A = this chain, B = another copy of it.
């Protein structure tokens, strides 16, 4: 016997009230007599009634859906390469737990890298799903057309790694401060020659970190050539090349800060190849802290990004907005410097 699904009418009949009263109860609306509210609530529990989201949405109410959008190329490339995608994991972690807390559902979708294609991709998903709020992640958080599209459709918007905060909820971390902290940590250990392996000059956060790096060196009163910067492209091979070129020079760095874990692993690899011990001869800090770094030899000191917290915050605000709160707002979430075995004082 296939079971019919239980609708609001069934509950209404069971509780001896009208649809609308049941609706009021399940939505926590005021002006329902306590006795009635109780009776309805019991009927709901007894029948295991859960409102049908599609119907709710049709009724002109919220969809109880938050959409999280990632870049398709970047994400697929990571997956295809069998590389993990800690970003996605942490995003889901923060998003799903917060959504679940509010009886919302998180839907994760990919959109094209090309700005125009991204816009039509997003438009299609919006039309199909009608989410209450959308979370844009880099690089799409910097695409003004997407924010405009959402505004046009009156859908709440949150951007990760963007810092404006007008019209959209913006969540981000202090990249520059984190770079200062990482650099300061090495300086505090006594390092003088420190190298930064940057990911990409036209990736905003990378530039901010380089700025923080330079600033920390200046703050310590060291000459600017104490801090050399080499540029890779976030990939292993690019970092190997960048690091090799620095390590053979006369002013060999005693410490390296890498813009992500893969490049930090490259530092380990290069050190091994040149007979340098980590951390005795070369300290290494990474700027990503994916799970692998605690199993490497040695485990890496790293800046932990508050990915889950940023998404969680974004969800919280988006849900609040669809419940009537003001849109907009800017939230800086704290990074952490996790000290592991890859950083010690130079010999």
| Cβ-neighbour of A54 out of B57, B154, B296 (below 8 A) | B57
| Cβ-neighbour of A123 out of B2, B48, B291 (below 8 A) | B48
**Bound Cα distance from A84 to B308, whole angstroms:** 13
Q: How many copies of the polypeptide does the oligomer hold? A: 2
Q: How large is the interface on A (under 10, 10 to 19, 20 to 34, 35 or more residues)?
A: 35 or more
Closest chain B residue to A109, Cβ basis: B105
Shortest A115–chain B CB gap in Å is 17
A272 proximity list for chain B (CB < 8 A) = 297
A85 proximity list for chain B (CB < 8 A) = 89
Stretch at the interface among A32-40, A90-98, A215-223, A322-330: A90-98
Stretch at the interface among A124-132, A135-143, A196-204, A248-256: A124-132
A63 proximity list for chain B (CB < 8 A) = 54
Shortest A174–chain B CB gap in Å is 20
Q: List residues of A whose CB falls within 8 A of some B CB.
A: 1-3, 5-6, 48-55, 57-58, 63-64, 76, 79-80, 82-86, 88-90, 92-93, 96-97, 100, 105-110, 120, 123-124, 127-130, 152-154, 262, 265, 268, 272, 289-292, 294-297, 308
9 nearest A-B residue pairs (beta carbon): A50-B127, A79-B93, A292-B292, A54-B54, A54-B57, A84-B291, A84-B84, A265-B295, A50-B124
